[in-house]
Amino acid sequence: MSKRESLESNNFDIQLVKDKFLLDKVQYLRGRVFFDKEEKDEDVFDEFCDHLAVVDKRNGLVVGTYRLLLSSVAAKHQGFYSETEFDLANIKKNCSGELLEMCRACVLESYRKYHIINLLWKEIISYFAKYKVRYVFGCPSIENPSPQTIGKIFNFFKENYFAPESFRVEPLKNKIYHYDKNTQVKSPTEAYRLLPSLIRGYLKMGAVACSEPAWDKDFGTADFFMLLDTSRMNEAYKMRFTC
């Protein structure tokens, strides 16, 4: 962690949500970030997931969050959120050990100049160790997608970051996003400009893309399924969050 990040972290507290009061704050944050509305974003998965919350100690605001769901917990309840978009048969068959789904990541817009995502990742890596997580996955989103942009992103993934066949998943039939299959990026620089910071972080960690895009009608996004093998994480990047 850089000196600037260390100084910043003194202003923030990161914690696992333990009560409904803080969960309400997390859900209102998600509503503001995802839908630009002063209402809660909530679903049936919230009740049995773990939620990380970053709180500004100066004013009590919840300014960042991530939702975490272990496979051992998902098996006792509704399954994974990702299963509402993708067929995870290969993941369940070929990924051994404890799995972790990460989703609903967001940071309040006025706080994106700070290293809130880094604080979240620092806690998430500790979570990996605590629960002996081998594989981590999620379906991060491309906002305001177009068939051309999604085609460029998918072809870039396919050429550079695509998973082995045994780890690939398919969007559910009612979730298929119809993208332009013939578009290509001119360079990796162009591709990275098209990607949100969350996906860039996944790639830097060593994650691979496992799918064609799925259409999330509720959020108006195109989602990709991404998988990270924690035993093969990029060590240089990991050190940023463990020092």
DSSP strand pairing (98-107 vs 62-70): antiparallel
- Higher pLDDT: 155 or 239? It is 155
Token digits for 163?
A: 């998973």
pLDDT (tens digit per residue) in 214-228: 999 999 999 999 999
**What are the sequence ranges of the domains in the chain?**
68-243
Q: Is the pLDDT of residue 168 over 70?
A: yes
pLDDT band (50, 70, 90) for residue 201: confident
DSSP string, 3-59: HHHHHHHTTEEEEE--SHHHHHHHHHHHHHHHHSSSS----TTGGGSEEEEEEETTT
Mean pLDDT to the nearest integer, 225-235: 90
Residue 131 CA to residue 114 CA, distance in Å, equals 28
Residues 6+ apart with CB under 8 A from 127: 50, 68, 100, 133
Residue 146 CA to residue 178 CA, distance in Å, equals 9
pLDDT (tens digit per residue) in 98-136: 999 999 999 999 998 888 988 998 899 999 999 999 999
Mean model confidence pLDDT for the chain:
92
Mean pLDDT to the nearest integer, 163-192: 96
This model's pTM is above 0.85: yes
Q: Is the pLDDT of residue 1 over 60?
A: no
Beta strands in the chain (DSSP E): 12-16, 50-56, 62-70, 86-87, 98-107, 133-138, 141-143, 170-171, 208-209, 214-216, 221-223, 226-229
Q: Is the pLDDT of residue 7 over 90?
A: no
Mean pLDDT to the nearest integer, 40-57: 97
Q: Which residues of 169-182 are buried (b: 16+ CB within 10 A; e: fewer)?
A: bbbeeebebebeee
Token digits for 224?
A: 């990709």
Mean pLDDT to the nearest integer, 196-202: 89
Instruction: Report the percentage of the chain scoring pLDDT > 90.
Output: 83
